[in-house]
Amino acid sequence: MELDLKIYDVFELLKASYKNIDFRSAIYNKDNYQRRILSVIRFSNESESMLNKKYEKLDLKRYKTKSFELHHDILEIPKWEDKLIELYEEIEDIEIDDVDEFYYHDNEYYEFQSTFLDEFKVNFSTPKFRFFFTEEEIQKYNVINFYYSVSNKNEHHNQFNKFLKKEILILGEDNIYDVINRTMQLDGYSSQNGLYISVLFPIYMKLNNLNYSEEILSGKVQFHDIFDKTKIFFRIYSDPNYKDKSYEGGEQFVISKDAPDIRGIDKGIFETTFNLDFRQYDCDPIFEIRALWENLKELYLIDFRHTFDTPRFQKAYENLIKEESEDIVEVDKDDLKFHYIIDPEIYLENDYMEVANEINIAYEKRFFNCVYILVRKLLENLLIDCLRRYYTMGEIDKFFDQNRRKFLPFSILRLRFNEMIEETKFIASVGEIQHQIIDYLEIFREIGNSSAHSFFSVNHQLIIESNRNKLSIVLKQLVKILNKLPLG
């Protein structure tokens, strides 16, 4: 989602909420001349000591080789433009100087100057839509990201990728991109990206402790005082209420640092609570939540959906199995048994929804081998996310092999999942999960193994269609777990 925002304007609006700039840059040395691979400028509300602790934890020095190193620095807020100019002037394949331009209006010519800052593109990331970045601060807050991409990206990557390959292997790494993603705290940077400079403006407003009980929605809003008087909107986005586009009545409130229950938790940071009555609705609630700040009308500072399971709509697991087994959408279309494999009514977050759509399209086009591969991909990543949210990075070994720098295989993830749902803390947070889920996951694991060893003899269409109801049950349970576990 690209927006017509200006970097100067965003800086002026948000600068009061920041304390320092977290600057990092990946450098390679060729012919005794240092060249940058990628630089990231993160505006931050964290103190200098906190940022230094983050650098220590990342242990950036251990990645230094003869030809590769990571620069980092903590900058004062006013220094951001100087650092940008410094980075920009190192780019060799573009014009550095300002260019005089003219435009014509009402029979007169007007002159203006176009600077390099005008060339930055902008992207606004929300919890349902991310662009490269998964650094802890970015997971918690929406962010406005101004970025600059080099035009000759293939040449740019070729210059350092092959050059550094041997040194990276000596470090025990598979490739330079794993190192960059880990140390820059990115997700998805690769040879397909022309990204060269990124400037991140986190928006310090977030929701905590969302709870829906007896048709009352409660929670906390944490916000920097520059967002005082911002409106938070809550709307039920589920049948039959989704047709009502109104945000009126009890579905909104205004955050205020003058509220009776306000609590100061840091310099300039406040927390307030809310309780909203939704007894007028009669449905299993999916809340669409947005925050509108008058100073930045183009954007919602918060924009996502949250689903709750309520006691009124929780069904016995045996009844759920019966329902899913009977809920067969028969079609008279060649030899397909269903309209789709994954029910579109199952709410999945943005990245997972893309995979689900691919599965349904592949099924419709009868690419059954692709369907099964994508189903395995979907389930494996959902398992990883469940484990990661519950155990957090403090127990990364539960889902990630640090020695081999890769996630654990599906079979072990399934066992870890089984252990997780037995823990007292998990049951207190999420509730009991039926163990038949483990059996269903085992079906997909075993079929995947047999498929790998007898690729051409497996009837994937039969497997997919006969296990469609089980897949639906597994997905609903995994979504339930994800919705009830905190993000970070």
Ordered DSSP codes for 106-159: TTEEEEEEE-GGGG-EEEEEBTTB-SSB--HHHHHS-EEEEEEE-S-HHHHHHH
Question: Per DSSP, which regions of 332-428 are E strands?
Answer: 400-401, 406-407
Identify which of 13-22, 142-151, 298-307, 374-383 has the greatest average pLDDT: 13-22
332 pLDDT exceeds 80? no
Identify which of 201-205, 369-373, 448-452 has the greatest average pLDDT: 201-205
Distances in whole angstroms, Cα of residue 402 to Cα of each of 160, 396, 406, 420, 437: 25, 8, 7, 20, 28
Domain ranges in the chain are: 7-202, 205-309, 315-484
* Stated pTM of the model: 0.61
pLDDT for the residue numbered 322 = 55
264 pLDDT exceeds 90? yes
What span, in angstroms and rounded, lies between the C-alpha atoms of 337 and 468? 10
What span, in angstroms and rounded, lies between the C-alpha atoms of 146 and 198? 6
What span, in angstroms and rounded, lies between the C-alpha atoms of 234 and 159? 50
**CB-neighbour burial class of residue 403 (10 A; exposed 0-12, middle 13-18, buried 19+):** exposed
In the CATH hierarchy, which fold is given to the domain comprising 205-309?
Answer: Immunoglobulin-like (2.60.40)
What length is written for the chain? 488
pLDDT for the residue numbered 49 = 95
pLDDT for the residue numbered 317 = 44
**Phi and psi dihedrals of 236, rounded to 5?**
-75, 120
Name, in order, each residue with C-beta under 8 angstroms of 105's C-beta and a sequence gap of 6 or more: none
Running DSSP on this structure, what letter comes out for residue 408? P
What span, in angstroms and rounded, lies between the C-alpha atoms of 3 and 321? 45
| Confidence band, pLDDT 50/70/90 cuts, at residue 25 | very high
| Confidence band, pLDDT 50/70/90 cuts, at residue 95 | very low
Q: Are strands 68-75 and 300-307 parallel, antiparallel or unpaired?
A: unpaired
Handedness of CA 435, 436, 441, 446 (dihedral sign): positive
pLDDT for the residue numbered 272 = 94
108 pLDDT exceeds 80? no
pLDDT for the residue numbered 38 = 93
Identify which of 20, 70, 388 has the alpha carbon closest to the alpha carbon of residue 202: 20
| Helix (H) / strand (E) containing 263 | strand 263-266
